[in-house]
Amino acid sequence: MLIARVVGSVVSTQKNGKLEGAKLLLAQPLDLDGKDRGPAVIAIDAVDAGVGDRVLLVLDGKAAMLALDRGLAGVDAAIVGVVDAVDIPGEPARR
Amino acid sequence: MLIARVVGSVVSTQKNGKLEGAKLLLAQPLDLDGKDRGPAVIAIDAVDAGVGDRVLLVLDGKAAMLALDRGLAGVDAAIVGVVDAVDIPGEPARR
Amino acid sequence: MLIARVVGSVVSTQKNGKLEGAKLLLAQPLDLDGKDRGPAVIAIDAVDAGVGDRVLLVLDGKAAMLALDRGLAGVDAAIVGVVDAVDIPGEPARR
Amino acid sequence: MLIARVVGSVVSTQKNGKLEGAKLLLAQPLDLDGKDRGPAVIAIDAVDAGVGDRVLLVLDGKAAMLALDRGLAGVDAAIVGVVDAVDIPGEPARR
Amino acid sequence: MLIARVVGSVVSTQKNGKLEGAKLLLAQPLDLDGKDRGPAVIAIDAVDAGVGDRVLLVLDGKAAMLALDRGLAGVDAAIVGVVDAVDIPGEPARR
């Protein structure tokens, strides 16, 4: 998984039936200093995250779909956790 | 998923039987400002998208195949939604 | 999928039993102008393609294996179609 | 798999139920000279590794989940071994 | 698959039970001229390859695990063939 920041959301009315009811969030991967790292991706929320949260981002179809509620499919990315802190021994905790 | 623009289509008469009836679209991934991001890919349409649409692009074999109609296989990318808007708090909606 | 050119083939006598009978082709991904894009990969032929053909290249284990004949496995790339034309509205067809 | 160094851990209280009980480690991929190679990722510990260990890092959803205890899912990376030595003939063993 | 050179091996005593008995090889991907291409990876041997061999390297969890003996799992890369020659029409065979 990558650490990412939820920076927005995506609205899609005309979508595949397997995605009905999915909450589409825009997640920007971060490096350990909290800076943007590569492009933002669209991920399905599997943990009730919101804009501004620092989260755990899964990038794998099978893993993402297993984390989601029964009935959702056709998905290759999911948000599976909200990060409280990153602890690196010898450095202050990054909350 | 990535946000992409449908920029064209691909014609293939001699193709694997698992792909019979698939609509092959050429999808160009975009960044948040709407500019091209990396190379275009061929994706199967799973939402009745057309050239010019801004779409949700899935890049994972299992996820793409689950989004498609029964009988299609051998596919690693699918278009699963048409994007109405990308909402980033503090910025105007990008429609 | 990516568009690629078949540029050669690979001979391997000592190979895993799951690959017996597989035709190993060397596929060079192309950009929309027909130029090389990134490194060549080894893919299993699933559509009776030959050297010189412009093809559809699948890069995903599950998708590649589903496109192949029963009994082949241990494969992460397959050639699933021969491209007749790439149609981009407003530009001449690229055949 | 890649060789990586465990450099820290991640605390996440609000997480998907499929991740309950998972130990989230921060793994930094290394090159053969022991230098950082690309960005750090979050991986689930499947071998009782700790901070400072040089480890084998799996980056694939299905592979990572198969290595973990029954009940964990929604995971795309796992630590599956502690590296004792890398042996390259003609060079001193890298322990 | 990629063409790679086996350049060494990895010793791991403390490893996940799904990897017991696996032979861990260090594989360096090559370009068509035989030069290093990107970083080396750790792959499980599924074809009795040895150091110095030019091999076919599979990079996909499901594909790699299907090529291995029953009982091995938690693996995202495997060596599935030894390359005898790469034939590119119009060029001398690269053995």
Domain boundaries, chain B: 2-13+22-82
pLDDT at E17: 93
pLDDT at B90: 85
Q: Is the Cβ pair D82, E51 closer than 8 Å?
A: no
- Percent of chain D at pLDDT above 70? 97
- Residue B72 contacts A, CB cutoff 8 Å: no
Pairing of strands A54-58, A2-11: antiparallel
- Residue A32 contacts D, CB cutoff 8 Å: yes
Residues B85-91, mean pLDDT to the nearest whole number = 92
Nearest CB among C26, C75, C77 relative to E88 is that of C26
- Best mutation target, A23, A86, A94, A95, to test chain D (most D CBs within 10 A): A86
Nearest CB among D26, D60, D73 relative to A86 is that of D26
CA distance D19 to chain E (A): 17
Nearest CB among A47, A58, A83 relative to D10 is that of A83
Q: Return phi, psi of residue C79, to 5°.
A: -100, 120
Q: Return phi, psi of residue E62, to 5°.
A: -65, -45
Block residue for tokens 């790292």: A37
- Residue E25 contacts C, CB cutoff 8 Å: no
By three-state DSSP, how is residue C67 classified? Answer: helix
pLDDT at B55: 98
Q: Please write the tens of the pLDDT for every residue from A36-93.
A: 999 999 999 999 999 999 999 999 999 999 999 777 889 999 999 999 999 999 887 7
CA distance C57 to chain B (A): 9
pLDDT band (50, 70, 90) for residue C69? confident
Of C27, B63, E94, B2, which is closest to residue A42 (Cα–Cα)? B2
Q: Which helix (H) or strand (E) holds B66?
A: helix B61-67
pLDDT at C62: 93
Tell me if D77 sits within 8 A of D31, measured CB to CB: no
- Percent of chain C at pLDDT above 90? 84
pLDDT at B69: 74
- Best mutation target, E7, E9, E11, E12, to test chain D (most D CBs within 10 A): E12
Of A25, E1, A54, which is closest to residue D11 (Cα–Cα)? A54
Q: Is the Cβ pair C88, B15 closer than 8 Å?
A: no
Name the token pair of B63.
Answer: 């996820």
Residues E55-78, mean pLDDT to the nearest whole number = 92
pLDDT at D95: 67
Q: How far apart are CA A35 and CA A4, in angstroms?
A: 10
Chains touching C by CB (3 or more pairs below 8 Å): B, E
CB pairs under 8 A between D and E: 99
By three-state DSSP, how is residue D49 classified? Answer: coil
CB environment E47-61: b (16+ within 10 A), e (fewer): bebeeebbbbbbbbb
User: Sign of torsion, CA D91 E22 E52 C51?
Assistant: negative
pLDDT over 90 at E88, yes or no: yes
Q: How far apart are CA A13 and CA A4, in angstroms?
A: 25
Give the DSSP letter string of E44-71. Answer: EESS---TT-EEEEE--HHHHHHHSPTT
ipTM summary value:
0.93
C chain contacts of residue E81, beta-carbon cutoff 8 Å: 12, 14-16, 19, 24
Q: How far apart are CA A12 and CA D85, in angstroms?
A: 51
C chain contacts of residue B74, beta-carbon cutoff 8 Å: 46, 58, 63-64, 66-67, 78, 80
Smallest CA–CA distance from B56 into chain A, residue: A42
Of E70, A21, B61, which is closest to residue D61 (Cα–Cα)? B61
- Residue B94 contacts A, CB cutoff 8 Å: no
Q: How far apart are CA A10 and CA E45, in angstroms?
A: 44
Domain A2-13+21-82 has CATH 2.40.50.220: yes
Q: Please write the tens of the pLDDT for every residue from D19-43.
A: 999 999 999 999 988 999 999 999 9
Domain D2-12+21-82 has CATH 2.40.50.220: yes
Q: What is the largest CA-CA distance in chain C?
A: 50
Task: Reduce the secondary structure of chain A to three states and give it as a string.
Answer: CEEEEEEEEEECCCECHHHCCCCEEEEEEECCCCCECCCCEEEEECCCCCCCCEEEEECCHHHHHHHCCCCCCCCCCEEEEECCEEECCCCCCEC
Name the token pair of C69.
Answer: 């004949």
Could you count the other beta carbons within 10 Å of the beta carbon of residue C60? 27
Class of domain E2-13+20-74: mainly beta
Instruction: Report the topology of domain B2-13+22-82.
Output: OB fold (Dihydrolipoamide Acetyltransferase, E2P) (2.40.50)
Per the DSSP assignment, residues forming a β-bridge with C5 are: C28, C54
